């Protein structure tokens, strides 16, 4: 009779202790992750003015979004950015990793070099490239002039602004993907190449039929990561072209603009965030599923 009671009491004490250890973590997650998720969704149906309490407006925020031409521009720009960043930021690291992996010398140095820009604070990369992009005597135009090519307005022309943003972003971020490809390439069994070669496969065929299928999983995961990351692009358009340029305004910049600059409309910004979350949540769920199963 007393023994089960004592065991129960010990179990309760153990649980209490465990939750004491968990308390700080639970509080932080509750305050800055779980509660904001709920509040964000609620907020998207509300109007906030900080004088009175928030009031319900139903779908008004969403309607206002769909009526705002900037909303569509921001989504189009974001998709263009993500698309170009996929072509560049997805293919380039792969090509670079395959190339470096063939080298028998200096591989450590190559890794350090390609990862160096990743370590810079992103705002530094962007502000540095602002000097390169300067339409007057910027470094890029000086070089173009030097080799007799036409100069460009870079970030200041609607035609080249977006690709300019993609270029900085790729430069600053490609190191991470490159290192992950390199790690994966080390895991490709050498016998497969051996066998393919015996069967008369050329280098390209080996790349096509051995390397790429072997890296399929990593390629897929990095595709998802790249989509999730680039759809949240902020610093590049914010700093290089500002929050009001319709040529480069992106979803994140528009959220910032709704909430913190022009409108100060938190409900509108929350509605936009919910839509972004809806799109990205699908990719994130897929990513988590894939990587959890890999364990």
- Report, in Å, the least distance between residue 156 CB and another protein: 16
DSSP bridge pairs for 188: none
Closest by CA to 77, choosing from 258, 250, 265, 212, is 250
- Report, in Å, the least distance between residue 214 CB and another protein: 6
Nearer residue to another protein within complex by CB, 161 or 253 = 253
- Report, in Å, the least distance between residue 160 CB and another protein: 19
Nearer residue to another protein within complex by CB, 104 or 159 = 104
**Angle formed by the axes of helices 266-294 and 35-43, nearest 10°:** 140
- Report, in Å, the least distance between residue 252 CB and another protein: 6
Nearer residue to another protein within complex by CB, 235 or 249 = 235
233: left (phi over 0), alpha (psi -120 to 50) or beta: beta
- Report, in Å, the least distance between residue 11 CB and another protein: 9
Nearer residue to another protein within complex by CB, 28 or 59 = 28
Nearer residue to another protein within complex by CB, 1 or 96 = 96
- Report, in Å, the least distance between residue 246 CB and another protein: 19
Nearer residue to another protein within complex by CB, 67 or 102 = 102
Cα 277-280-283 angle, rounded to 5 deg: 145
Assess contact for 222 and 175: CB atoms under 8 A. no
Nearer residue to another protein within complex by CB, 161 or 181 = 181
Nearer residue to another protein within complex by CB, 1 or 265 = 265
- Report, in Å, the least distance between residue 88 CB and another protein: 11
- Report, in Å, the least distance between residue 94 CB and another protein: 12
């Amino acid at each position: 009779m007393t023994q089960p009671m004592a065991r129960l009491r010990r179990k309760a004490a153990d649980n209490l202790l465990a939750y004491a250890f968990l308390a700080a973590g639970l509080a932080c997650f509750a305050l800055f992750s779980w509660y904001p998720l709920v509040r964000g969704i609620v907020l998207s149906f509300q109007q906030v003015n900080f004088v009175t309490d928030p009031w319900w407006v139903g779908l008004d925020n969403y309607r206002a979004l769909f009526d705002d031409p900037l909303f569509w521009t921001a989504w189009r720009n974001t998709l263009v950015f993500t698309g170009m960043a996929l072509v560049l930021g997805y293919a380039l690291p792969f090509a670079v990793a395959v190339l470096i992996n063939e080298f028998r010398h200096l591989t450590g140095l190559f890794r350090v070099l390609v990862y160096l820009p990743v370590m810079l604070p992103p705002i530094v990369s962007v502000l540095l490239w602002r000097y390169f992009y300067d339409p007057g005597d910027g470094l890029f135009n000086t070089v173009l002039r030097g080799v007799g090519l036409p100069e460009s307005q870079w970030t200041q022309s609607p035609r080249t602004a977006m690709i300019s943003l993609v270029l900085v972003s790729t430069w600053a971020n490609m190191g991470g993907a490159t290192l992950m490809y390199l790690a994966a390439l080390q895991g490709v069994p050498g016998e497969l190449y051996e066998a393919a070669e015996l069967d008369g496969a050329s280098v390209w065929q080996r790349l096509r039929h051995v390397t790429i299928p072997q890296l399929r999983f990593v390629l897929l995961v990095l595709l998802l990561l790249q989509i999730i990351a680039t759809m949240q692009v902020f610093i590049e358009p914010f700093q290089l072209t500002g929050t009001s340029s319709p040529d480069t305004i992106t979803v994140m910049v528009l959220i910032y603009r709704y909430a913190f600059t022009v409108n100060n409309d938190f409900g509108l910004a929350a509605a936009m965030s919910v839509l972004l979350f809806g799109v990205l949540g699908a990719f994130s769920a897929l990513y988590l599923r894939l990587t959890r199963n890999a364990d």
